[in-house]
Amino acid sequence: MNSLDLLYSVGAVALAPWWARKSRGDWRSRFGHAEVLPASRGRRVLVHAVSVGEVNALRGLVPRLAERCEVVVSAGTDTGLARAAELFAGSARVVRYPLDFSRCVRRFLDAVKPDAVGLVELELWPNFVRECVRRGVPVGVINGRLSERSFRGYRRVRAVLRGTFASLRFAAVQDEEYRERFVAMGVPAERCMVTGSMKWDAAKIEREVPGAEQLAAELGIDRSRPVLVAGSTAEDEEALLHAACPAGVQLVCAPRKPEHFDEAARAMPGCVRRSERRPAPLGTGRFLLDTIGELRKAYALADVVVMGRSFGGLYGSDPIEPAALGKAVVIGPAVKDFAVIVKTLERAGGLVRADRGRLGGVLSELFANKERRETISAAAVGCIRGQMGASERHAGLLEGMVTGKVEA
């Protein structure tokens, strides 16, 4: 046990009342007991994405990389693992990422035997990186992102983490602001480069989504009436949308967290809940998507989409998916976790910003003006197409690590 293990142990005990409330299983894998893989031929790349959002960003990367190397995808959450298994069956092995205790990390690396590791966005765990370095396994960050909020926290312990950042073979980050933060944390400037965001590549540009019309029929959505879909909503946002939704427009709210479903239902009196599997009575205008995995279908039914988690004290939601479906997207002022994406779309005219006070007026204007909606959606799709390419760049960098073409 090293000093970091001791610190983790103290933290685990201190936070026990919090994590004990959360349902977690698969502890064997969490402690590093992964499936033992046969020795590779020197071309096995482990790509780690912590949860669903990061896993989704790999949709363009993994198929490209699998043509050049053997790929193992790891995730840390149950939802991330399930999504990875769904997306990459046949093209990559999927394993659970271990806790960052040194013994767990060693056990995991003994089983998986990667020749190189790519960490998505900012999954820098010190024991893991240290053990990879000890074994001569190069580690790089792809799709790197270090938000202002995270940077403030990391900077407080920079003396502890500087060596971890400095050990990276490269950091391929989304924009210049993130590059400056990675360098400030210890990544040598010559190893830190701007390569863009893979989330643009993961966007599936299409107008129709299989199953969307079936969802509408089963919920009882009237396809002759306009539809507003609010995705990944948080506390208080359903009440805001219920009040701001223009007369005659149907509202579908999809809360981000299942534990928020009942509260969301109370905020929309008389709403039809998807989980109840019964169609709406005639004239119903409020619907709650309290299921998992159907948001894309709901987006396909929308005339306008509002992004949740952006009208309160949180940090926004990713607007790329509904924008790629050709929807006019509205987002609030709180977008720190997706600031670069929002800024890029807004600059292209492919997104509308609104605060709580202006939301009702913005929605009324959009629903009254079809031409305006179409202009926004066309600009968004054009912007997304123009931003694509990061997945190919990252695939090249990861391949370079296992072939020795990326130098430290």
Q: What is the CATH number of the domain that holds 129?
A: 3.40.50.11720
142 and 237 belong to one structural domain = no
In 129-155, which positions are buried (b, 16+ CB within 10 angstroms) versus exposed (e)? bbbbbeeebbbbbbbbbbbeeebeebe
Do 38 and 176 have their domain in common? Answer: yes
Predicted pLDDT of residue 24: 64
In a domain, 148, yes or no: yes
Q: What is the pLDDT of residue 316?
A: 94
Same domain flag for 180 and 276: no
Is residue 29 in some structural domain?
A: yes
Report yes or no on 375 lying in a domain: yes
Q: Are residues 95 and 198 in the same domain?
A: yes
Report whether 182 contacts 192 (CB < 8 A).
yes
pLDDT of residue 13: 59
Check whether residue 125 and residue 274 sit in a common domain: no
Task: State whether 163 and 46 are in the same domain.
Answer: yes
Q: Based on the domain organization, do 383 and 394 belong to the same domain?
A: no
The sign of the torsion formed by the CA atoms of 122, 126, 132, 133 equals positive
377 assigned to some structural domain: yes
Task: For residue 234, tell me if it sits in a domain.
Answer: yes
Domain with 143 in it: 23-202+389-403
Element (H, E) at 218: helix 212-219
Q: Are residues 353 and 275 in the same domain?
A: yes
**Residue 32 Rama label (left phi>0; alpha psi -120 to 50; beta):** left
Given this model, what pLDDT does residue 90 score?
87
Angle in degrees, 0-180, between the axes of helices 158-166 and 126-135, rounded to the nearest 10: 30
pLDDT digits (tens, 9 = 90+) for 37-95: 998 888 999 999 988 889 999 999 999 999 999 999 999 999 899 999 999 998 999 99
Assess whether 342 and 217 both reside in one domain.
yes
Looking at residue 408, its pLDDT comes to: 43
User: Do 149 and 88 share a structural domain?
Assistant: yes
pLDDT computed for residue 186 by the predictor: 96
**One domain for residues 394 and 361:** no
Written in H, E and C, the secondary structure of 301-362 is HCCEEEECCCCCCCCCCCCHHHHHCCCEEEECCCCHHHHHHHHHHHHCCCCEECCCCCHHHH
Domain count, the chain: 2
Tokens linked to 157? 């312990």
What is the per-residue pLDDT for 40?
Answer: 86
CB–CB of 74/50 below 8 Å? no
Answer whether 320's CB lies under 8 Å from 344's CB.
no
Q: What is the pLDDT of residue 197?
A: 93
Residue 7 lies in a domain: no
DSSP state of 32: T
Residues 250, 350, single domain; the answer is yes
Are the CB atoms for 330 and 304 separated by under 8 Å? yes
Residues lower than pLDDT 70 in the chain? 1, 3, 5, 8, 10-25, 406-408
